[in-house]
Amino acid sequence: MTATITPYRPPQQAGRDGFAQLLHAEWTKFRTLRGWVIAVVIATLLIGGVGVLLPRGGCPGGGGGCVVPHVPIGPGGAAVNDSYSLAGQPLPGDGSITARVTSLTGLIAPDQNFVGPNGPSNTLSPGLVPWAKAGIIITASTRPGSAYAAMMVTGSHGVRMQYDYTSDIAGLPGSLSVASPRWLRLTRSGDVITGYDSADGRHWTEVGTATLAGLTGTVRAGMFATSPLNFTPNFPTYGEPGGSVSDSVATGAFADADLRGGTPGGRWTGQQVGAEDANYNGAPPSGLGFRQAGGRFRVTGSGDIGPVVAGGVNTNYVTGTIEDHMFGVFIGLLIMIVIAAMFITVEYRRGLIATTLAASPRRGRMLAAKAVVIGLVTFVLGSAAVAVCVIAGSQITHAAGTYVLPVSWLTEARVILGTGAMLAVASALALGIGTVLRRSVVAVAAVIVAIVLPYIIGVTGILSATASEWVLRVTPAAGFAIEQSVPQYQQVLGHYGPPDYFALGPWSGLAVLCAYAAVALGLATWLLRRRDAGGAA
């Protein structure tokens, strides 16, 4: 007998085989396991819920007694301190101001433990804080927050050119003495200000040039002095900017003041710019202000011209940041990375990995699809939850009498979407680790050790400050840097530690986390292709 075999011809099917299909499959896998969906929803609710229900910060001694102050905003949009003593004249158009600073002296109040707005202190002893400053300034107006540029001698950072509160350029180094005075000059051409310094009044060096928006018409030029709070940071701990703060006063002595382009016969007029007690709460010592004796001038001031930094160490009001309510991100991350690791390890546990790899023999693409799915889920949910923390949290903080440091909408978007991205990249890293290790328990332990543990070490500072800094630089926990909304300033003493500040900048920190995720996923892909599709031995 001869059998005639008609081979099976499947009817034409409309199916497609591409990355989109793999994404669809992995998404279906994810959404059809109720436990996973519940877990990521809980993570999302925790991020938002902790942010809204457990506010940090707030006014010491209860919210009712605190009033959010009116804080000057600089040209760049940042909250600024702008209080100093000025001896000024109008400058109607282009011109220049030159002066010789012959001495910079100061007084510092005794240390007191910082517990918020600094209390009164009356006994001052001689001394200069590092960023005490005296010099010459051209400012659009004497309204706090105006555009300005200044050349100054500082307590221990030599000559600087500073403008518009956040910019700082170093000039001549070294400290000032009678034998070694400093000549300073600012020239105005329209809205462009150029700063020069000189050690002898003959040889001038250009320090920097600034174009100041809004510097039109008659501006004010003069000599100024001011001195910020004396801040000594302690060992930082999470959410507790430790350190001691005390008042200070600085006096600059000037000679040979020369204004070109000013009103003929104009006189130097003393003026306090900004709140007199911006930094100085005690009874002002005699001499605060401006004195002239012949061609010599003394300007004594207290305060600062510069940005407000987080932690309330250079303000007499309590500050907060938009990320103050993001503590829950850490808990949400913990849940999300566990789910991400288990997204693949349960497949090894159940033997389902064989079905998955039979459906998708191109193994790298399968892993990529998994990473995209878990990444998108955590990004979307995480960003939404962080948006609640930032927007609702800022209002809660404000209502509690705390001044929330303003940031641009771009920065706000970066904090929200960047934190979502951080959660997504951390999940991809966890997925990679899960693929390499294949066992749920081992993989979950590994991702916690890799991401969560360094973060705890970093922000609590349970080791040392140096260890914390390095941990937040070189471990995947560096990714948390994306949360910081206000920058650090070298020209302002501050409590530059977590959670407001990280050792790395926002994007650098996220890049470190991305590098870890790339290495983990690369190793995972290599092993996935090389190994037989079975569970761990």
Partner 1 sequence: MPATSEIPSVDGMEATIEVTGLRKRFGSTLALDGMSFIVKPGQVTGFVGPNGAGKSTTMRAILGLDAPDQGSALISGQPYPKLRRPLSHIGAMLDAAALQPGRTARNHLLWLAHSQGLSGRRVDEVIERAGLTSAARRKAGGFSLGMRQRLGIAAAMLGDPPVLMFDEPFNGMDPEGIIWMRGYLRSLAADGRAVLVSSHLMSELEDAADHLVVAGRGKVIADTSVAELIAAASGDRVTLRTGSRSEVMTVLAHAGATVAATGRDTLAVSGLTAEQVVARLGESGVGFSEISAHRATLEEAYMELTRDAVEFRAEPAEEEVR
Q: 87: which 2 tokens? A: 């001896």
Q: For the CB of residue 45, give the shortest distance to partner 1 in the complex, in Å.
A: 21
Q: For the CB of residue 443, give the shortest distance to partner 1 in the complex, in Å.
A: 17
Which residue stretch of 4-12, 306-314, 374-382, 499-507 sits at the interface with partner 1 (rule: CB under 8 A)?
Answer: 4-12
Q: Which is nearer to partner 1, 3 or 410 (CB)?
A: 3
Comparing C-alpha atoms, which of 175, 172, 169, 150 is closest to residue 159? 172
Q: For the CB of residue 29, give the shortest distance to partner 1 in the complex, in Å.
A: 5
For residues 271, 274, 279, 282, the Cα torsion angle rounded to the nearest 10 degrees is: 60
Question: In angstroms, rounded to a whole number, what is the distance separating the alpha carbons of residues 117 and 113?
Answer: 11
Phi first, then psi, for residue 505 (nearest 5°) are -70, 170
- Which one of 9, 202, 203, 267 is in contact with partner 1 (CB under 8 A)? 9
- Which one of 350, 519, 522, 526 is in contact with partner 1 (CB under 8 A)? 350
Q: 313: which 2 tokens? A: 């160490």
Q: For the CB of residue 370, give the shortest distance to partner 1 in the complex, in Å.
A: 12
SS3 (DSSP) at 185? strand
- Which one of 293, 358, 409, 410 is in contact with partner 1 (CB under 8 A)? 358
Q: What is the DSSP letter of 129?
A: -
Q: Which is nearer to partner 1, 354 or 384 (CB)?
A: 354
Comparing C-alpha atoms, which of 304, 289, 201 is closest to residue 248? 304
Q: Which is nearer to partner 1, 174 or 534 (CB)?
A: 534
Which residue stretch of 43-51, 101-109, 348-356, 455-463 sits at the interface with partner 1 (rule: CB under 8 A)?
Answer: 348-356
Q: For the CB of residue 448, give the shortest distance to partner 1 in the complex, in Å.
A: 23
Told to check if 18 binds partner 1 by CB under 8 A, we report yes
Which residue type is seen at 38? I
Q: Which is nearer to partner 1, 1 or 179 (CB)?
A: 1
Phi first, then psi, for residue 241 (nearest 5°) are -65, 100
Q: 295: which 2 tokens? A: 């061609």
Told to check if 362 binds partner 1 by CB under 8 A, we report yes
Q: For the CB of residue 423, give the shortest distance to partner 1 in the complex, in Å.
A: 24
Q: 3: which 2 tokens? A: 């059998």
SS3 (DSSP) at 269? strand
SS3 (DSSP) at 221? strand
- Which one of 202, 361, 410, 466 is in contact with partner 1 (CB under 8 A)? 361
Question: In angstroms, rounded to a whole number, what is the distance separating the alpha carbons of residues 406 and 378?
Answer: 27
Q: Which is nearer to partner 1, 25 or 448 (CB)?
A: 25
Q: Which of positions 513-532 make contact with partner 1 (CB under 8 A)? A: 532
Told to check if 376 binds partner 1 by CB under 8 A, we report no
Could you write out the three-class secondary structure of 173-238? Answer: CCCCCCCCCEEEEEEEECCEEEEEEECCCCCCEEEEEEECCCCCCCEEEEEEEECCCEEEECCCEC
Q: How far is CA 218 from the centre of its chain?
A: 35
Which residue type is seen at 102? T
- Which one of 355, 395, 408, 490 is in contact with partner 1 (CB under 8 A)? 355
Q: Which is nearer to partner 1, 68 or 354 (CB)?
A: 354
- Which one of 41, 213, 359, 463 is in contact with partner 1 (CB under 8 A)? 359
Q: Which is nearer to partner 1, 322 or 369 (CB)?
A: 369
- Which one of 193, 354, 439, 443 is in contact with partner 1 (CB under 8 A)? 354
Q: Which of positions 50-69 make contact with partner 1 (CB under 8 A)? A: none
Q: Give residue for tokens 């771009």.
A: 410
Q: Which is nearer to partner 1, 37 or 515 (CB)?
A: 37
Q: Which is nearer to partner 1, 35 or 190 (CB)?
A: 35
Question: Angle CA(174)–CA(179)–CA(185) in degrees, nearest 5?
Answer: 65
Buried b / exposed e over 41-78, threshold 16 CB at 10 Å, is: eebbebbbbbbbeebbbbbeeeeeebebeebbbbbeeb
Instruction: Output the CA torsion sign for 197, 200, 201, 203.
Output: negative
From first CA to last CA, the distance across the chain in angstroms is 51
The size of the interface with partner 1 (CB under 8 A), counted in residues, is 44
Per-residue contact flags (x/-) with partner 1 for residues 22 to 41, judged by CB under 8 A: x-xxxxxx--xxxx------
Q: 372: which 2 tokens? A: 């995209």
Q: Which is nearer to partner 1, 370 or 495 (CB)?
A: 370
For residues 529, 532, 533, 537, the Cα torsion angle rounded to the nearest 10 degrees is: -120
Q: For the CB of residue 1, give the shortest distance to partner 1 in the complex, in Å.
A: 7
Q: Report the interface residues with partner 1, using CB under 8 A.
A: 1-3, 5-11, 13-18, 21-22, 24-29, 32-35, 346-347, 350-352, 354-355, 357-362, 532-534
